[in-house]
Structure 1
Amino acid sequence: MTANAKLLACLLALLAVTALAAAERPNVVMIVSDDQGWRDFGFMGHGVVRTPHLDRLAQTSAVFPNGYVPTALCRPSLATLLTGLYGHQHKITGNDPPDGVDRDAMLGFLRQSPAVPRLLAQAGYLSLQTGKFWEGHYSNAGFTHGMTTE
């Protein structure tokens, strides 16, 4: 297990222990959007865009304004976010599989990885995948619900 995966596992374990100690389990809402500027929300100071529901959510939430991705491509960045591994570790370095590489074989890695949705499911949480998802069926990353079925 890599250092990033260990850190992710420790953070999720801390979350699980904290949740057990609390009277109520905390809600975990992680919103990931593609091609959206960091300032394109009301709570981030945009002068025109109005996001009242997200603004209210942000007032009582942890907001990470300095998050960066390790690659400029969608699919490898999402794989890193889900697994805590860099592209050279999870082997997803482009949006499309290289010529001659079996897509199903590439998905096998994700099906067996300790991805965040899978770890949350093991802790009793439900997760939902919506929008673009390069990895086939939502369950490949451990999501309990989703819209991508192929």
Structure 2
Amino acid sequence: MIINLIRYCLIQPQYSRLLFRETEKQGELFPGLLPVENTIRKAYLCHSSAKHLTPGDILLFYRSEDIRAVVAVGVCECTFRSQDPKEIVRKISQRTVYSLSEIENLTEKEVLVVLFRESRILEKQIGFDELSRMGAVKGPIQSIQKVKEDSLLWLKQRIVE
């Protein structure tokens, strides 16, 4: 049996608000919706050097800076790397919160594109303190990183609560 890995994906608040609109307070839910907000198929773009993301891997989106918690769960569909903004836009279509100019700025360096399906928004977000206390992280969460194996069972149970 193949066991897919669980990985943290660091996401900045301004992009988390757009990509996972359901995590925001009710009053902020509907002004000026973007196409990506109405779909479960989304794209995550970063400069991570992670090389072993595979289809089926579970992605925990950790919102940095303000909330400092896992706010959403996704499932990796596929990944690719590119430094060509037109290729990225062509392949991700309306699955991203980035504008063309932001993608052009990102592609000054090679970009890792992760196409994923949103699985769920966590009603009970998992804060950094809880992750640390349960041994699921050691040190700060950065870009994309693997979850510590000895905390996988706890984390899977915690996600489905």
TM-score of the two chains, using structure 2 as the length reference: 0.24
Q: Rg: which structure is higher?
A: 1
More RCO (CA 8 Å, sep 6+): 2
Q: Calculate the TM-score normalised by the size of structure 1.
A: 0.25
More helix by share: 1
